[in-house]
Amino acid sequence: MNTTTPSPARGRFAQRAVALAIVSVTALLGACADMTDTQRRTGTGAAIGAATGAVIGSTTGGKAGTGALIGGALGAIAGNVWSRHMDAQQRAMEQATQGTGVEVTRTNDNQLKLNVPADVSFDVGRADIKPELRSVLEQFARGLKAQPNTLVNIVGHTDSTGSDSVNEPLSRERAQSVKAFLVDRGVGSARVDTQGRGAREPIADNGSADGRSRNRRVEIFLREPVSGGG
């Protein structure tokens, strides 16, 4: 067994090389005007993954090339693709939710996020979907059926009124109600995960009626993995 311990100088050299590699490759990818945004993001992820692998290989006494190969594979696979399909889904959702108060955004990790406030989604203390949300979810379900590789995560939230013993199951029930609606419209159940966060992740002050209303919400995340798995 090779128990050679890398010298501090080798570690410092590897870290400087990694930093330079990341800057150089990222700059090169950004300069390629013919590359799509998806290609640039995936390539940058692979470059950073390779650099990280090189550090792992060097600082643990292994071969930097082997570490870079492993890290590059992980960097390319990790994360999500922002494809033309995702662009189209975002535009469709923005149009479908116009004037409803639903926020449609693209997250930093390439997920499409729908933030659905209480006045659109659920009444206080209830988990049955309001009519205002049904029309949004109908459009969403149609888009999902046209994109079989995309995955969905639905997260339910409550305000701080009431105890955790009430809020936790209520937040889960709200997320599950949205899932049931989508599945009933032909979206595969295995593609949709649900979570309930209770009152643990407020986005506004629970001390006001307006803040509590904003905190009673459902967040829907749509992602397309780089690996293309579904």
**pLDDT tens by residue, 21-69:** 545 444 544 444 444 444 444 444 545 454 545 554 554 455 545 554 4
Task: pLDDT band for 135, please (50, 70, 90 cuts).
Answer: confident
Question: Higher model confidence: residue 77 or residue 146?
Answer: 146
> In this prediction, what percent of the chain has a pLDDT beyond 70?
64
Closest of 116, 150, 156 to residue 136, by C-alpha: 116
Q: Looking at the structure, do residues 70 and 102 belong to the same domain, yes or no? A: no
The full 3-state SS of the chain, as one line of letters, equals CCCCCCCHHHHHHHHHHHHHHHHHHHHHHHHCCCCCHHHHHHHHHHHHHHHHHHHHHHHCCCCHHHHHHHHHHHHHHCCECCCHHHHHHHHHHHHHCCCCCCEEEECCCCEEEEEEECCCCCCCCCCCCCHHHHHHHHHHHHHHHCCCCCEEEEEECCCCCCCHHHHHHHHHHHHHHHHHHHHHCCCCHHHEEEEECCCCCCCCCCCCHHHHHHHCEEEEEEECECCCCC
Task: pLDDT band for 8, please (50, 70, 90 cuts).
Answer: low
Distance CA 118, CA 217 (A): 5
Domain count, the chain: 2
124 and 228 Cβ atoms separated by less than 8 Å: no
Distance CA 176, CA 93 (A): 21
Distance CA 184, CA 179 (A): 8
Q: In terms of residue numbers, what domain contains 16? A: 8-77
Backbone angles phi, psi at 86, to 5 degrees: -65, -40
Q: Is the pLDDT of residue 107 over 70?
A: yes
Q: Looking at the structure, do residues 92 and 132 belong to the same domain, yes or no? A: yes
Distance of CA 148 to the CA centre of its chain: 17
pLDDT at 132: 86
pLDDT digits (tens, 9 = 90+) for 142-197: 989 988 889 999 999 999 998 999 999 999 999 999 999 999 999 999 999 999 99
Mean of the pLDDT values across residues 214-220?
93
36 is a domain residue: yes
CATH number of the CATH domain containing 149: 3.30.1330.60
Distance CA 166, CA 207 (A): 19
Q: Looking at the structure, do residues 187 and 151 belong to the same domain, yes or no? A: yes
2 is a domain residue: no
Task: pLDDT band for 118, please (50, 70, 90 cuts).
Answer: confident
Residue where a domain stops, chosen among 23, 45, 77: 77
> In this prediction, what percent of the chain has a pLDDT beyond 90?
44
Residue where a domain stops, chosen among 36, 58, 77: 77
Mean of the pLDDT values across residues 104-115?
95
Mean pLDDT score across all residues of the chain: 77
66 is a domain residue: yes
